[in-house]
Amino acid sequence: MTIEDLSTASPAPIRVSDLVDVDSGVISRDIFVNEQIHKLELEYLFPRAWLFVGHASQVPNPGDFFSSRMGSDPVLMTRDTKGEVYVLLNSCRHRGMRVCRYDEGNTMQFTCPYHAWSYSMDGSLVDVPGDLHGVPHMKSAYHGRLEKEKWGLVRCPRVYNYKGLIFASWDENAPDFLDYVGNFHFWLDNLADAFDGREGETEVFRGVLKWRIRSNWKFVAENFLGDTYHGASTHASVEAVGIGPGGRGKRRHGERQNQGGFSKGRMKTSFRLGHGASDNLDYELPYPEFAEPKLTEYFEHAWDIRAERLRAEGRALGGRGPATLFPNMSFAAGFPRSILVSHPISSTETEVWRWFLVDKDAPDFVRDWLREYYMRYGGPAGMTEQDDMENWDYATQASLGVVARRYPYNYQQGLGEERLSALDGAVHSDHAIAGEVNARAFYRRWAEFVDNMSWPELMNVAAVDDRVSKIMERASEVEA
């Protein structure tokens, strides 16, 4: 064998779109367990997409910081003296040490413990937050020639504050956040707006639940984007016990059944951009009836005001989720109202973070009730979420086998049965409970990113939802 032979002997690059066949609803297990594919998604998906980093209410004052993650990278969300929120790469420019190993706090500067390079976190010591301002032995070691302005903490170039939700992207060429979100923003609005519809009047409770699971991160994203199919079996125990607002013997979420049936509202809304929700905007779901009349009264009032406000704007009242903003920010805008991010650690390991939102001006009795409900519902101690993790973990582990990996997963629910949505860039599933249209769109988008399609191409293919034309074709065939 010649040297030339050796150099070409490396395996052909993986094209993940070959593994994701959304037309026939078949997806290879490899994308959930293969470490090589995981590395590709770390390379081409997470550093390009818009990711949720944290909530502005976590850094209310100048000098406040919150440690977060973006894909494989640790970042710091900071607030400077001017009130701006920044996202900085948490790694020293000299030897890479994490300059901050605290989860949250307030400081003037981040000083690397390794060699004590120090970076201004709020811009008060330098021009811009993250700039390098202190270097030991600056004169003797660098002869004063170190160009400090070039060696500040790497700043995330794209940061967007959407009603308090802080998103960031490492990619200068990424489209604006609003274009990345598209019409899916209605779900984000419901998450970030107060229960009575006032814009952005929410904050997060202090305390982010963080825990490790032996699952691929995509199981988590997929679950919230549209898998209502699992509810009856996975959550049978909480359905039986009744832990929701209505109290014992009531449905988990305490939804009122006066909207033509619970299932109707669970129809999926799927966006070509990869986002998806487990409900649609047309489904009006009033706030639940509570066991305590005082709470019912409070939320009924909030609903009435919201209904009036949104109708005046010509907006629909639905869209509470659960939902997933592509790729890994999942959330629900109702009961509970919560954000979940699935941080990729390896192909078979994920760190899950959960935040809970509350209206800024919620009275104590509402705040206390919601907090206790959130804790018994979600997170690793939550009676509902505990059972999800059992599934995600063992689905991942049982897919690792050599034989198991030869057999793809089935995503054929509702294939060819999509319906038109009134929203551009979206379609609905035709089935109330079972419909994998969201997952198919998510994995198609995922493959487009991981195969490193360029941004112009990514936005071009998403500009026209080819699913809509197929629906029209089918309709005309039926008429003919």
Q: Which is nearer to another protein, 155 or 214 (CB)?
A: 214
Alpha helix stretches (DSSP H) within 57-120: none
Minimum CB–partner distance for residue 16 and another protein (Å): 27
Q: Which of 107, 143, 24 is nearest to 440 (CA)?
A: 24
Q: From the CB of 11, what's the least distance to another protein, in Å? A: 31
Reduced to 3 states (helix: H, G, I; strand: E, B; else coil), residue 331 is strand
CB of 201 to another protein, least distance (A): 19
Helix H or strand E segment including 310: helix 293-312
Q: Where are the beta strands (DSSP E) in 114-164?
A: 118-120, 132-134, 158-162
CB of 399 to another protein, least distance (A): 16
Q: How far apart, in whole angstroms, are the C-alpha atoms of residue 59 and residue 380?
A: 25
Backbone φ and ψ for 76, nearest 5 degrees, come out as -120, 130
Which of residues 236 and 404 has its CB atom nearest to another protein in the complex?
Answer: 236
Identify the CA nearest to 252 among candidates 339, 358, 378, 432: 378
Kindly state the smallest distance separating residue 456's Cβ from another protein, in Å. Answer: 39
Residue 138 or 241 having the CB closest to another protein: 241
What does the block give as tokens for 307? 């209904």
CA distances from 417 to 420, 433, 470 (A): 10, 14, 10
Q: Which is nearer to another protein, 43 or 104 (CB)?
A: 104
Instruction: Name the site residues for another protein (rule: CB under 8 A).
Output: 101-105, 107, 205-214, 234, 236-238, 240-241, 243, 351, 356, 367, 371-372, 374-376, 379-381, 383, 385-387, 389-391, 393-394
> Phi, psi at residue 478, to the nearest 5°?
-65, -40
Which CB, 291 or 420, lies closer to another protein? 291
For residue 259, give the nearest of 279, 238, 231, 232 by alpha carbon: 279
- In the bound state with another protein, the residue whose beta carbon lies nearer, of 270 and 396, is 396
Would you give the DSSP letter of residue 290?
P
Tell me the closest approach of the beta carbon of residue 385 to another protein, in angstroms. 8
Beta carbon of residue 346, minimum distance to another protein (angstroms, whole number): 15
Q: Which is nearer to another protein, 35 or 390 (CB)?
A: 390
Residue count of the chain: 480
Helix (H) or strand (E) holding 344: strand 337-346
